[in-house]
Amino acid sequence: MKKIYVNQAASSLPIVSKAVKILKQEVKNRSNEIIELTDQIKEADIEVSLDNSIGQEGYRIGRKNNTVLIVGSDERGVMYGVGKFLHTSTFKENELIMSDWQGISVPKRKVRGIYFATHFHNFYHAAPLSEIEEYVESLALWGCNAIAVWFDMHHFNGIDAPEAQEMIHRLKVILKAANNVGIGAVLLGLANEGYKNRPEHLRADWTAGHDGYFAEPCDHYRCEICPNTQEGQDYIVQTRSEIMDAFADVTLDYLVIWPYDQGGCTCSKCAPWGSNGFIKCAKKIAQVIKEKTSETKIILSTWYFDHFIHGEWEQFDKYVTEQRPDWIDFLLADDNSDYYPEYILKNGVPGNFPLVSFPEISMYKMHPWGGYGANPMPDHFQLIWDSAKDKLAGGFPYSEGIYEDINKIICLQFFWGDKAALETVKEYASYEYQKELADDIVKAVYILEKNQLSSWKNEADFPDAFEILNNIEGKMTVYAKRQWRWRILVRRAEIDRELLKNNGQITISCKDACQELVDIFYAQNTGIGNAIKSINM
Residues 345 and 447 in one domain: no
Asked if 286 and 164 sit in the same domain, the reply is yes
pLDDT at position 6 = 87
366 — pLDDT class (breaks 50, 70, 90): confident
CA distances from 290 to 183, 254, 295 (A): 21, 11, 8
**39 pLDDT higher than 90:** no
Q: Do 353 and 448 have their domain in common? A: no
Examine the domain organization and report whether 66 and 28 are in the same domain. yes
Secondary structure class of 90 (helix, strand, coil): strand
Cα dist from 239 to 151, 225, 347, whole Å = 12, 11, 36
Residues 131 and 249 in one domain: yes
> Tell me, what's the pLDDT at 537?
41
The verdict on 465 and 350 lying in the same domain is no
Which of 205, 136, 212 is CA-nearest to residue 171?
A: 136
- Residue 284 sits in the same domain as residue 382: yes
| 421, 505: one domain | no
Please tell me the least confidently modeled range out of 2-11, 64-73, 166-175, 418-427.
Answer: 2-11
356: three-class secondary structure by DSSP: strand
Which of 105, 129, 146 is the endpoint of a domain?
A: 105
CATH number at residue 61: 3.30.379.10
How confident is the model at residue 2, as a pLDDT?
Answer: 65
| pLDDT in the model for residue 256 | 98
Outline where 32-122 has alpha helix (H).
75-87
Domain co-membership, 215 together with 323 = yes
What span, in angstroms and rounded, lies between the C-alpha atoms of 494 and 498?
7
257 lies in the same domain as 199: yes
Question: In 201-236, which positions are buried (b, 16+ CB within 10 angstroms) versus exposed (e)?
Answer: ebbbbbeeeebebeeebeebbebbbbbbeeebbebb
Structural domain that includes position 20: 3-105
pLDDT band at 536 (very low <50, low <70, confident <90, very high): low
Q: What is the mean pLDDT of residues 85-104?
A: 95
Specify the number of domains making up the chain: 3
Range of weakest confidence among 39-43, 272-276, 435-439: 39-43
Q: For residue 290, with 0-12 CB atoms within 10 Å meaning exposed, 13-18 middle and 19 or more buried, which class applies?
A: middle
Same domain for 241 and 182: yes
Residue type, 25: Q
Q: The CATH number of the domain where 318 resides is what?
A: 3.20.20.80
Among 105, 128, 158, the domain-final residue is 105
**What's the average model confidence in pLDDT over 331-345?**
95
Q: What angle do CA 27, 28, 29 make, to 5 degrees?
A: 95
Domain boundary among 428, 444, 460: 428
pLDDT in tens, 140-195: 999 999 999 999 999 999 999 999 999 999 999 999 999 999 999 999 999 999 99
Give the SS3 label for residue 339: coil
- Cβ atoms of 359 and 411 within 8 Å: the answer is yes
Question: How many CB atoms lie under 10 A from the CB of residue 477?
Answer: 17
- 421 and 454 co-located in one domain: no
